[in-house]
Amino acid sequence: MLYAILCYKDEDVVAAWTEAEDAAVMARLGTVHERLERQGKLGPSLRLLPTTAATTLRKGGEPPLVINGPFAETKEQLLGFYVVDVADLDEALAIARDLAAANPGGAYELRPVLLYNPDPRMPDPRKAAG
């Protein structure tokens, strides 16, 4: 089943990293990513740019209100997510633990997901195979 691993962390802390520190974290995470990829468990993964680059469209009003910044001002921010293909929650938690060891601080939220619409711009692997 598919799980989203949502990565929450204080983005001020991430911004305080030097380029070398950022690269060191990414290299440690890369080892975990590679293993998951080899095992065919890694789906799309995204790193979100800082919330200062975010814009929010508030529905409800007419017209909807466009405001600067993220939807919620929180102590820790959603900084990215993975989609992993795992047997159960335990396996998803094991992956999250490996990621946490590579990139301590913050939290991972594990949420089961339904594949709503795979990227339609990508060639369909089934068609390509056939």
Partner 1 sequence: MSATDPDSAWIAAALAASRPRVIAALLRAFRDLDTAEEAYHEAVLRALRTWPRTGPPRDAAAWLILVGRNAALDGKRRRVRETPLPPEEALSDRDDAEAALAERMDASAYRDDILRLLFICCHPELPATQQIALALRIVSGLSVARIARAFLASEAAMEQRITRAKGRIARSAVPYEAPGPAERAERLGTVSAMVYLVFNAGYSAGTGTERAALCEEAIRLGRLLLRLFGSDPEVMGLMALMLLQHARTPARFDAEGAIILLDDQDRGLWRRPMIAEGLALVDKAMRHRAPGPYQVQAAIAALHARAARPQETDWAGIDALYATLERLQPSPVVSLNRAVATAKIGGPAAGLARVEPLAKSLNGYFHFHGLRGALLMQLGRDGEARAAMGRAIALAGTAAEAAHIRMQLDRLSRDAERPWKKRSARVSGAARPARPWGEAARKPGDAAEEERTRMSQNPETAPAPVKGGLVAYLTVDGALKAAEFYARAFGAETVTAMPADEQGRTMHVHLHVNGSSLMLSDAYPEHGHPFRDPQGFNLTLMVDEIDARYARAVEAGATAVMPPTEMFWGDRYGQLRDPFGVLWAMNQQKR
Q: Would you count residue 16 as binding partner 1 (CB under 8 A)?
A: yes
Using DSSP bridges, classify how beta strands 2-9 and 107-112 pair: parallel, antiparallel or unpaired.
antiparallel
Residue of the chain from 1, 44, 46, 68 that contacts partner 1 (CB under 8 A): 68
Q: Would you count residue 53 as binding partner 1 (CB under 8 A)?
A: yes
- Taking each helix axis from N to C end, the angle separating 19-38 and 89-102, rounded to the nearest 10 degrees, works out to 150
Interface segment toward partner 1; rule CB under 8 A; list 35-43, 88-96, 102-110, 119-127? 102-110
* 98: CB partners within 8 A, 6+ apart: 32
Interface segment toward partner 1; rule CB under 8 A; list 38-46, 79-87, 97-105, 107-115? 97-105
- What the block records as the tokens of 85 is 């293909």
CA distance between the termini of the chain: 25
List interacting residues with partner 1 (CB under 8 A): 10, 12-21, 24-25, 28, 49-50, 52-53, 55, 66-69, 73, 75, 101-105
